[in-house]
């Protein structure tokens, strides 16, 4: 399967990008780094700059139709930037319209809120997003990982980097089920 990893040019929490990326690659999936700008993205380890990663495709030029699933890594700045970019929000919304799996961790559900896709869904996130998710019609739970199949697609969410193992396992299980 071909999986899009959507990030802003800077602000993505590195481990929330690299761990799911590695898990997907190790499972035989094709991973594609999609961003709002070409070139490279700047990842962070909390507030400190970490590594840079090359962008494979630019949102707005990349078609959601060419991907089987979407991963939204967190970091505070990353989803905050993405939710202000109309093309990024439309890209995310297309995965829900088309019934494709979406996985989001930590602060990444901010982009889901902006795409207006959390209404009626049960999800988790970094605790500070609880009110935003509830105000957008979602049901927030404090769980390590939550798989919600309300609607045409499955949404996999986790709270924080400590949940990455469970997050990756749940996402890969959903992909295996989809390929089934």
Catalytic residues: 106-107
- Name the one residue in this structure whose structure tokens are 């207006």: 116
Q: Cα separation of 125 and 97, whole Å?
A: 22
The CA–CA distances, whole Å, from 102 to 29, 36, 51, 64, 176 equal 15, 18, 25, 12, 14
- Taking the CA atoms of residue 32, residue 35, residue 103 and residue 166 in that order, the dihedral angle to the nearest 10 degrees is 70
């Amino acid at each position: 399967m071909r999986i899009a990893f959507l990030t802003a040019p800077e602000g993505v929490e590195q481990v929330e990008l690299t761990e799911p990326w590695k898990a997907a690659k190790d499972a035989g999936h094709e991973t594609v780094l999609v961003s709002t700008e070409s070139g490279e993205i700047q990842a962070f380890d909390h507030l400190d700059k970490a590594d840079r990663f090359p962008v494979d495709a630019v949102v707005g030029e990349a078609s959601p139709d060419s991907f089987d699933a979407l991963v939204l890594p967190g970091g505070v700045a990353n989803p905050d930037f993405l939710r202000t970019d109309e093309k990024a929000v439309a890209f995310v919304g297309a995965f829900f319209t088309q019934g494709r799996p979406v996985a989001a961790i930590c602060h990444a559900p901010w982009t889901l809120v902006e795409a207006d896709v959390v209404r009626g869904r049960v999800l988790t996130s970094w605790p500070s997003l609880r009110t935003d998710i509830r105000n957008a019609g979602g049901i927030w739970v404090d769980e390590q990982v939550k798989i919600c199949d309300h609607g045409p697609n499955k949404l996999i969410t986790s709270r924080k980097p400590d949940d990455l193992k469970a997050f990756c396992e749940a996402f890969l299980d959903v992909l295996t089920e989809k390929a089934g």
